[in-house]
Structure 1
Protein backbone atom coordinates (compact mmCIF):
# COMPACT_ATOMS: atom_id res chain seq x y z
CA UNK A 1 0.00 0.00 0.00
CA UNK A 2 1.34 3.41 -0.98
CA UNK A 3 2.30 5.71 1.90
CA UNK A 4 0.14 8.83 2.24
CA UNK A 5 1.16 12.22 0.93
CA UNK A 6 2.68 14.46 3.60
CA UNK A 7 0.97 17.85 3.56
CA UNK A 8 2.74 20.74 5.27
CA UNK A 9 -0.15 23.01 6.06
CA UNK A 10 -1.84 25.73 8.04
CA UNK A 11 -5.57 26.53 7.56
CA UNK A 12 -5.37 29.58 5.30
CA UNK A 13 -6.67 30.25 1.77
CA UNK A 14 -3.46 28.88 0.27
CA UNK A 15 -3.50 25.81 2.49
CA UNK A 16 -7.15 25.10 1.65
CA UNK A 17 -6.28 24.79 -2.04
CA UNK A 18 -4.41 21.58 -1.36
CA UNK A 19 -6.78 20.03 1.19
CA UNK A 20 -9.59 20.63 -1.30
CA UNK A 21 -7.67 18.89 -4.10
CA UNK A 22 -6.68 15.96 -1.91
CA UNK A 23 -10.23 15.54 -0.61
CA UNK A 24 -11.65 15.73 -4.13
CA UNK A 25 -9.16 13.09 -5.30
CA UNK A 26 -9.78 10.87 -2.29
CA UNK A 27 -6.02 10.50 -1.89
CA UNK A 28 -4.71 9.54 1.57
CA UNK A 29 -2.68 12.28 3.21
CA UNK A 30 -1.26 13.15 6.60
CA UNK A 31 -1.15 16.73 7.83
CA UNK A 32 2.05 18.23 9.21
CA UNK A 33 1.00 21.51 10.76
CA UNK A 34 3.20 24.52 10.06
CA UNK A 35 2.11 27.13 12.57
CA UNK A 36 3.05 30.27 10.67
CA UNK A 37 2.24 32.50 13.65
CA UNK A 38 4.87 30.71 15.74
CA UNK A 39 7.57 30.62 13.05
CA UNK A 40 7.46 26.91 12.14
CA UNK A 41 8.07 27.94 8.52
CA UNK A 42 11.68 28.86 9.36
CA UNK A 43 12.65 25.42 10.68
CA UNK A 44 15.59 23.99 8.66
CA UNK A 45 13.74 20.76 7.90
CA UNK A 46 10.83 22.70 6.43
CA UNK A 47 13.10 25.04 4.45
CA UNK A 48 14.58 22.01 2.71
CA UNK A 49 11.11 21.34 1.35
CA UNK A 50 9.94 24.93 0.93
CA UNK A 51 12.89 27.32 0.49
CA UNK A 52 10.54 30.32 0.29
CA UNK A 53 9.46 29.61 3.92
CA UNK A 54 5.82 29.42 2.90
CA UNK A 55 3.28 26.68 3.18
CA UNK A 56 1.67 24.64 1.70
CA UNK A 57 4.16 22.07 0.54
CA UNK A 58 3.91 18.35 0.00
CA UNK A 59 6.09 15.28 -0.07
CA UNK A 60 4.70 12.56 -2.30
CA UNK A 61 6.47 9.29 -1.41
CA UNK A 62 5.31 7.85 -4.74
CA UNK A 63 6.72 10.48 -7.04
CA UNK A 64 8.00 10.11 -10.61
CA UNK A 65 9.86 6.83 -11.05
CA UNK A 66 8.55 5.64 -7.70
CA UNK A 67 10.86 8.02 -5.83
CA UNK A 68 9.71 10.65 -3.31
CA UNK A 69 9.26 14.21 -4.54
CA UNK A 70 8.77 17.42 -2.58
CA UNK A 71 6.87 20.35 -4.06
CA UNK A 72 6.27 23.86 -2.81
CA UNK A 73 3.99 26.61 -4.22
CA UNK A 74 0.28 25.85 -4.21
CA UNK A 75 -0.21 26.23 -7.96
CA UNK A 76 2.61 23.81 -8.74
CA UNK A 77 1.20 21.30 -6.25
CA UNK A 78 -2.26 21.51 -7.85
CA UNK A 79 -0.80 20.98 -11.33
CA UNK A 80 1.31 18.04 -10.17
CA UNK A 81 -1.60 16.29 -8.48
CA UNK A 82 -3.86 16.99 -11.45
CA UNK A 83 -1.37 15.49 -13.88
CA UNK A 84 -0.61 12.50 -11.68
CA UNK A 85 -4.23 11.54 -11.03
CA UNK A 86 -5.74 12.71 -14.31
CA UNK A 87 -8.49 14.74 -12.65
CA UNK A 88 -9.49 18.41 -12.49
CA UNK A 89 -6.66 19.36 -14.89
CA UNK A 90 -7.50 18.36 -18.48
CA UNK A 91 -5.07 16.81 -20.93
CA UNK A 92 -6.59 18.51 -23.98
CA UNK A 93 -4.39 21.52 -24.65
CA UNK A 94 -7.16 24.08 -25.20
CA UNK A 95 -8.98 22.99 -22.08
CA UNK A 96 -5.73 22.94 -20.11
CA UNK A 97 -4.89 26.50 -21.18
CA UNK A 98 -8.29 27.64 -19.94
CA UNK A 99 -7.54 26.15 -16.53
CA UNK A 100 -3.99 27.51 -16.42
CA UNK A 101 -5.08 31.05 -17.27
CA UNK A 102 -7.39 31.17 -14.28
CA UNK A 103 -5.02 29.32 -11.99
CA UNK A 104 -2.26 31.86 -12.64
CA UNK A 105 -4.78 34.71 -12.47
CA UNK A 106 -5.49 33.60 -8.92
CA UNK A 107 -1.86 32.99 -7.98
CA UNK A 108 -0.66 36.30 -9.42
CA UNK A 109 -3.70 38.48 -8.78
CA UNK A 110 -6.57 37.46 -6.55
CA UNK A 111 -4.45 35.94 -3.77
CA UNK A 112 -1.82 38.69 -3.45
CA UNK A 113 -4.35 41.52 -3.75
CA UNK A 114 -6.78 39.97 -1.26
CA UNK A 115 -3.85 39.35 1.07
CA UNK A 116 -2.88 43.02 0.92
CA UNK A 117 -6.50 44.00 1.58
CA UNK A 118 -6.47 41.78 4.67
CA UNK A 119 -3.22 43.38 5.80
CA UNK A 120 -4.20 47.00 5.48
CA UNK A 121 -7.76 46.49 6.72
CA UNK A 122 -6.91 44.33 9.75
CA UNK A 123 -3.23 44.00 10.62
CA UNK A 124 -1.39 47.21 9.76
CA UNK A 125 -0.21 48.93 12.96
CA UNK A 126 -1.50 52.25 11.68
CA UNK A 127 -4.54 52.96 9.56
CA UNK A 128 -3.40 53.96 6.09
CA UNK A 129 -6.48 54.92 4.12
CA UNK A 130 -4.72 54.92 0.78
CA UNK A 131 -3.61 51.30 1.27
CA UNK A 132 -7.07 50.27 2.45
CA UNK A 133 -8.76 51.89 -0.55
CA UNK A 134 -6.16 50.70 -3.06
CA UNK A 135 -6.46 47.01 -2.22
CA UNK A 136 -10.16 46.96 -1.35
CA UNK A 137 -10.89 48.48 -4.76
CA UNK A 138 -8.56 46.09 -6.56
CA UNK A 139 -10.20 43.07 -4.95
CA UNK A 140 -13.54 44.52 -5.96
CA UNK A 141 -12.28 44.76 -9.55
CA UNK A 142 -11.06 41.15 -9.46
CA UNK A 143 -14.39 39.95 -8.07
CA UNK A 144 -15.99 41.76 -10.99
CA UNK A 145 -13.73 39.87 -13.41
CA UNK A 146 -14.83 36.59 -11.86
CA UNK A 147 -18.47 37.62 -11.87
CA UNK A 148 -18.38 38.43 -15.58
CA UNK A 149 -16.52 35.21 -16.35
CA UNK A 150 -19.08 33.12 -14.47
CA UNK A 151 -22.07 34.74 -16.12
CA UNK A 152 -22.27 32.07 -18.83
CA UNK A 153 -20.46 29.07 -17.36
CA UNK A 154 -20.68 27.14 -14.08
CA UNK A 155 -16.97 27.27 -13.22
CA UNK A 156 -13.99 29.43 -14.10
CA UNK A 157 -12.65 27.18 -16.86
CA UNK A 158 -16.02 25.70 -17.83
CA UNK A 159 -15.73 22.40 -15.95
CA UNK A 160 -14.82 22.21 -12.28
CA UNK A 161 -11.02 22.32 -11.99
CA UNK A 162 -7.97 23.24 -9.96
CA UNK A 163 -8.63 26.86 -10.95
CA UNK A 164 -11.81 26.86 -8.85
CA UNK A 165 -10.03 25.13 -5.97
CA UNK A 166 -7.35 27.81 -6.05
CA UNK A 167 -9.79 30.72 -6.03
CA UNK A 168 -12.47 29.67 -3.56
CA UNK A 169 -10.31 30.01 -0.45
CA UNK A 170 -9.63 33.64 -1.23
CA UNK A 171 -13.35 34.39 -1.57
CA UNK A 172 -14.31 32.73 1.72
CA UNK A 173 -13.02 35.72 3.76
CA UNK A 174 -14.68 38.25 1.45
CA UNK A 175 -16.02 40.32 4.34
CA UNK A 176 -12.46 40.86 5.61
CA UNK A 177 -11.68 42.24 2.15
CA UNK A 178 -14.57 44.72 2.33
CA UNK A 179 -16.67 42.88 -0.26
CA UNK A 180 -20.37 41.99 -0.44
CA UNK A 181 -21.09 38.92 -2.58
CA UNK A 182 -24.60 40.19 -3.21
CA UNK A 183 -22.96 42.72 -5.54
CA UNK A 184 -21.68 39.80 -7.67
CA UNK A 185 -24.58 37.39 -8.31
CA UNK A 186 -22.74 35.00 -10.65
CA UNK A 187 -19.77 34.83 -8.31
CA UNK A 188 -22.12 34.22 -5.39
CA UNK A 189 -23.78 31.32 -7.21
CA UNK A 190 -20.35 29.79 -7.89
CA UNK A 191 -19.30 30.39 -4.27
CA UNK A 192 -22.41 28.68 -2.88
CA UNK A 193 -21.99 25.77 -5.31
CA UNK A 194 -18.41 25.11 -4.24
CA UNK A 195 -19.13 25.41 -0.52
CA UNK A 196 -21.89 22.82 -0.94
CA UNK A 197 -19.40 20.22 -2.19
CA UNK A 198 -18.59 17.62 0.48
CA UNK A 199 -14.86 17.65 -0.31
CA UNK A 200 -14.70 21.43 0.05
CA UNK A 201 -16.59 21.33 3.33
CA UNK A 202 -14.21 18.72 4.71
CA UNK A 203 -11.14 20.49 3.37
CA UNK A 204 -11.77 23.84 5.03
CA UNK A 205 -12.36 22.13 8.38
CA UNK A 206 -8.86 20.64 8.37
CA UNK A 207 -6.87 22.33 11.11
CA UNK A 208 -9.73 24.49 12.32
CA UNK A 209 -9.20 23.35 15.90
CA UNK A 210 -5.46 23.99 15.66
CA UNK A 211 -6.08 27.53 14.49
CA UNK A 212 -8.76 28.11 17.13
CA UNK A 213 -6.16 27.51 19.84
CA UNK A 214 -4.21 30.54 18.67
CA UNK A 215 -4.88 34.17 19.41
CA UNK A 216 -6.48 36.18 16.63
CA UNK A 217 -3.74 37.38 14.28
CA UNK A 218 -5.24 40.87 14.49
CA UNK A 219 -4.46 40.82 18.23
CA UNK A 220 -1.27 38.74 18.29
CA UNK A 221 1.57 41.26 17.95
CA UNK A 222 4.28 38.60 18.23
CA UNK A 223 2.78 36.62 15.34
CA UNK A 224 2.53 39.82 13.31
CA UNK A 225 6.25 40.43 13.84
CA UNK A 226 6.99 36.92 12.59
CA UNK A 227 4.73 37.19 9.55
CA UNK A 228 5.11 40.81 8.50
CA UNK A 229 8.66 41.77 9.48
CA UNK A 230 10.61 39.33 7.33
CA UNK A 231 13.79 40.29 5.52
CA UNK A 232 16.46 38.17 3.86
CA UNK A 233 17.77 35.61 6.32
Structure 2
Protein backbone atom coordinates (compact mmCIF):
# COMPACT_ATOMS: atom_id res chain seq x y z
CA UNK A 1 0.00 0.00 0.00
CA UNK A 2 1.31 3.46 -0.91
CA UNK A 3 2.03 5.79 2.00
CA UNK A 4 -0.74 8.21 0.94
CA UNK A 5 -3.27 5.36 0.76
CA UNK A 6 -2.19 4.12 4.19
CA UNK A 7 -2.54 7.59 5.73
CA UNK A 8 -5.97 8.07 4.21
CA UNK A 9 -7.13 4.66 5.43
CA UNK A 10 -6.05 5.58 8.98
CA UNK A 11 -7.66 9.02 8.74
CA UNK A 12 -10.88 7.41 7.49
CA UNK A 13 -10.96 5.11 10.54
CA UNK A 14 -10.30 8.02 12.89
CA UNK A 15 -12.93 10.32 11.38
CA UNK A 16 -15.59 7.62 10.92
CA UNK A 17 -15.28 6.78 14.62
CA UNK A 18 -15.29 10.44 15.62
CA UNK A 19 -18.48 11.09 13.65
CA UNK A 20 -20.13 8.10 15.35
CA UNK A 21 -19.16 9.12 18.88
CA UNK A 22 -19.63 12.89 18.70
CA UNK A 23 -22.45 15.04 17.40
CA UNK A 24 -21.94 18.35 15.65
CA UNK A 25 -21.80 21.35 18.02
CA UNK A 26 -21.87 19.22 21.18
CA UNK A 27 -19.03 19.47 23.67
CA UNK A 28 -16.45 16.70 23.79
CA UNK A 29 -14.58 16.98 20.50
CA UNK A 30 -13.25 19.41 17.90
CA UNK A 31 -16.73 19.33 16.32
CA UNK A 32 -17.96 21.45 19.22
CA UNK A 33 -17.77 24.80 17.42
CA UNK A 34 -16.74 26.34 14.10
CA UNK A 35 -13.35 27.97 13.60
CA UNK A 36 -13.38 31.50 15.02
CA UNK A 37 -11.66 32.99 11.97
CA UNK A 38 -14.39 31.63 9.70
CA UNK A 39 -17.04 33.27 11.89
CA UNK A 40 -15.13 36.55 11.75
CA UNK A 41 -15.43 36.58 7.95
CA UNK A 42 -19.19 35.99 7.81
CA UNK A 43 -20.26 39.67 8.07
CA UNK A 44 -18.31 40.36 4.86
CA UNK A 45 -19.97 37.44 3.08
CA UNK A 46 -23.45 38.43 4.26
CA UNK A 47 -23.06 41.74 2.40
CA UNK A 48 -22.91 39.89 -0.94
CA UNK A 49 -26.04 39.02 -2.90
CA UNK A 50 -26.17 35.35 -4.00
CA UNK A 51 -22.74 34.51 -2.57
CA UNK A 52 -21.04 31.31 -3.70
CA UNK A 53 -18.96 29.60 -1.02
CA UNK A 54 -16.59 26.65 -1.34
CA UNK A 55 -15.64 24.56 1.70
CA UNK A 56 -12.81 22.16 0.84
CA UNK A 57 -12.68 19.33 3.35
CA UNK A 58 -16.02 20.29 4.84
CA UNK A 59 -16.45 17.23 7.04
CA UNK A 60 -19.90 17.05 8.62
CA UNK A 61 -20.43 20.81 8.45
CA UNK A 62 -18.53 22.26 11.37
CA UNK A 63 -17.91 25.43 9.34
CA UNK A 64 -20.23 25.03 6.37
CA UNK A 65 -23.44 24.81 8.44
CA UNK A 66 -22.82 28.20 10.14
CA UNK A 67 -21.81 29.67 6.77
CA UNK A 68 -25.01 28.32 5.21
CA UNK A 69 -27.08 29.84 8.03
CA UNK A 70 -25.38 33.20 7.38
CA UNK A 71 -25.98 33.26 3.62
CA UNK A 72 -29.42 31.62 3.54
CA UNK A 73 -31.31 34.91 3.59
CA UNK A 74 -29.36 36.39 0.65
CA UNK A 75 -29.79 33.28 -1.48
CA UNK A 76 -26.26 31.95 -1.07
CA UNK A 77 -24.88 28.52 -1.86
CA UNK A 78 -22.23 26.52 -0.01
CA UNK A 79 -20.42 23.86 -2.02
CA UNK A 80 -19.04 21.23 0.38
CA UNK A 81 -16.30 18.84 -0.73
CA UNK A 82 -15.15 15.85 1.29
CA UNK A 83 -13.47 12.53 0.59
CA UNK A 84 -15.38 10.51 3.22
CA UNK A 85 -18.83 9.07 2.64
CA UNK A 86 -19.52 9.29 6.39
CA UNK A 87 -18.81 13.02 6.31
CA UNK A 88 -21.17 13.70 3.40
CA UNK A 89 -23.91 11.47 4.87
CA UNK A 90 -23.74 13.29 8.20
CA UNK A 91 -23.53 16.67 6.47
CA UNK A 92 -26.81 15.96 4.67
CA UNK A 93 -28.47 15.00 7.96
CA UNK A 94 -27.18 18.08 9.78
CA UNK A 95 -28.15 20.37 6.91
CA UNK A 96 -31.75 19.19 7.32
CA UNK A 97 -31.57 19.48 11.10
CA UNK A 98 -30.39 23.09 10.86
CA UNK A 99 -32.76 23.85 7.95
CA UNK A 100 -30.09 24.77 5.40
CA UNK A 101 -30.42 21.76 3.08
CA UNK A 102 -31.35 24.09 0.19
CA UNK A 103 -28.11 26.01 0.67
CA UNK A 104 -25.70 23.08 1.02
CA UNK A 105 -24.40 21.42 -2.16
CA UNK A 106 -22.33 18.33 -1.24
CA UNK A 107 -19.67 16.63 -3.37
CA UNK A 108 -18.00 13.33 -2.51
CA UNK A 109 -14.48 13.91 -3.79
CA UNK A 110 -10.93 14.41 -2.67
CA UNK A 111 -9.79 18.02 -2.85
CA UNK A 112 -7.37 17.53 -5.72
CA UNK A 113 -10.04 15.82 -7.83
CA UNK A 114 -12.60 18.62 -7.47
CA UNK A 115 -12.68 21.16 -10.31
CA UNK A 116 -12.55 24.76 -9.08
CA UNK A 117 -13.86 26.88 -11.93
CA UNK A 118 -12.34 30.31 -12.50
CA UNK A 119 -13.89 33.28 -10.67
CA UNK A 120 -16.72 31.17 -9.24
CA UNK A 121 -16.55 31.80 -5.49
CA UNK A 122 -16.88 34.74 -3.11
CA UNK A 123 -15.50 32.79 -0.14
CA UNK A 124 -13.20 29.77 -0.21
CA UNK A 125 -12.55 27.90 3.04
CA UNK A 126 -10.08 25.09 3.72
CA UNK A 127 -9.62 24.19 7.40
CA UNK A 128 -7.16 21.41 8.29
CA UNK A 129 -7.56 19.90 4.83
CA UNK A 130 -4.93 21.13 2.37
CA UNK A 131 -2.19 19.24 4.20
CA UNK A 132 -4.07 16.09 3.16
CA UNK A 133 -3.56 16.46 -0.58
CA UNK A 134 -1.28 13.82 -2.04
CA UNK A 135 1.92 15.82 -2.56
CA UNK A 136 3.57 19.21 -2.31
CA UNK A 137 3.23 19.60 -6.08
CA UNK A 138 -0.51 18.94 -5.80
CA UNK A 139 -0.74 21.50 -2.99
CA UNK A 140 0.73 24.15 -5.30
CA UNK A 141 -1.79 23.29 -8.01
CA UNK A 142 -4.78 23.38 -5.64
CA UNK A 143 -3.68 26.73 -4.19
CA UNK A 144 -3.36 28.14 -7.70
CA UNK A 145 -6.83 26.81 -8.57
CA UNK A 146 -8.22 28.47 -5.43
CA UNK A 147 -6.60 31.77 -6.41
CA UNK A 148 -8.06 31.62 -9.91
CA UNK A 149 -11.43 30.40 -8.63
CA UNK A 150 -12.01 33.39 -6.35
CA UNK A 151 -14.00 36.35 -7.64
CA UNK A 152 -12.52 39.87 -7.37
CA UNK A 153 -13.26 41.08 -3.84
CA UNK A 154 -13.60 37.48 -2.63
CA UNK A 155 -11.91 35.92 0.39
CA UNK A 156 -9.79 32.81 0.91
CA UNK A 157 -9.63 31.50 4.47
CA UNK A 158 -7.05 28.80 5.21
CA UNK A 159 -6.03 26.93 8.34
CA UNK A 160 -3.16 24.55 7.56
CA UNK A 161 -1.27 22.30 9.95
CA UNK A 162 2.53 22.39 9.71
CA UNK A 163 5.40 20.68 11.53
CA UNK A 164 3.03 17.96 12.72
CA UNK A 165 4.42 15.45 15.21
CA UNK A 166 2.76 12.46 16.89
CA UNK A 167 3.84 10.89 20.18
CA UNK A 168 2.68 7.57 21.64
CA UNK A 169 1.44 8.53 25.12
CA UNK A 170 2.06 5.01 26.45
CA UNK A 171 5.70 4.78 25.45
CA UNK A 172 6.72 8.38 24.77
CA UNK A 173 7.92 7.24 21.35
CA UNK A 174 7.86 9.69 18.44
CA UNK A 175 5.79 8.25 15.61
CA UNK A 176 5.60 8.86 11.89
CA UNK A 177 3.06 11.67 11.60
CA UNK A 178 0.12 10.52 9.49
CA UNK A 179 -0.08 13.56 7.27
CA UNK A 180 0.46 13.67 3.53
CA UNK A 181 2.13 17.10 3.23
CA UNK A 182 4.02 17.96 6.42
CA UNK A 183 5.95 21.14 5.67
CA UNK A 184 7.79 23.41 8.05
CA UNK A 185 5.84 26.52 9.00
CA UNK A 186 8.36 28.64 7.09
CA UNK A 187 8.05 26.55 3.93
CA UNK A 188 4.23 26.57 4.05
CA UNK A 189 4.08 30.35 4.31
CA UNK A 190 6.50 30.59 1.39
CA UNK A 191 4.15 28.37 -0.61
CA UNK A 192 1.22 30.66 0.13
CA UNK A 193 2.69 34.12 -0.40
CA UNK A 194 3.62 33.82 -4.10
CA UNK A 195 0.24 32.35 -5.04
CA UNK A 196 -1.68 35.19 -3.42
CA UNK A 197 0.72 37.97 -4.37
CA UNK A 198 -1.13 41.27 -4.70
CA UNK A 199 -4.02 40.17 -2.50
CA UNK A 200 -4.89 42.04 0.69
CA UNK A 201 -3.69 40.20 3.80
CA UNK A 202 -6.64 40.13 6.20
CA UNK A 203 -5.31 37.81 8.91
CA UNK A 204 -2.16 35.80 9.44
CA UNK A 205 -1.07 33.98 12.56
CA UNK A 206 0.74 30.83 13.61
CA UNK A 207 -0.53 29.04 16.71
CA UNK A 208 1.03 25.95 18.35
CA UNK A 209 -1.69 23.43 19.18
CA UNK A 210 -1.87 20.03 20.88
CA UNK A 211 -4.57 17.38 20.61
CA UNK A 212 -5.11 14.06 22.35
CA UNK A 213 -6.34 11.61 19.73
CA UNK A 214 -6.56 7.82 19.44
CA UNK A 215 -5.32 5.55 16.67
CA UNK A 216 -6.21 1.86 16.81
CA UNK A 217 -6.81 2.10 20.56
CA UNK A 218 -3.48 3.85 21.23
CA UNK A 219 -3.59 7.33 22.81
CA UNK A 220 -1.58 9.80 20.74
CA UNK A 221 -0.44 13.36 21.42
CA UNK A 222 -0.56 15.32 18.18
CA UNK A 223 1.35 18.60 18.01
CA UNK A 224 1.17 21.15 15.22
CA UNK A 225 1.85 24.73 14.25
CA UNK A 226 -1.50 25.81 12.77
CA UNK A 227 -1.12 28.51 10.14
CA UNK A 228 -4.15 30.79 9.75
CA UNK A 229 -4.04 32.73 6.48
CA UNK A 230 -6.90 34.93 5.24
CA UNK A 231 -6.53 37.02 2.08
CA UNK A 232 -8.86 39.09 -0.08
CA UNK A 233 -8.59 39.37 -3.86
CA UNK A 234 -8.37 42.97 -4.96
CA UNK A 235 -11.03 44.38 -7.23
CA UNK A 236 -9.83 44.44 -10.81
CA UNK A 237 -7.68 41.32 -10.43
CA UNK A 238 -8.49 38.46 -12.80
Q: Scaled by the length of structure 2, what TM-score is found?
A: 0.32
Q: Between Structure 1 and Structure 2, which shows a larger proportion of strand residues?
A: 2
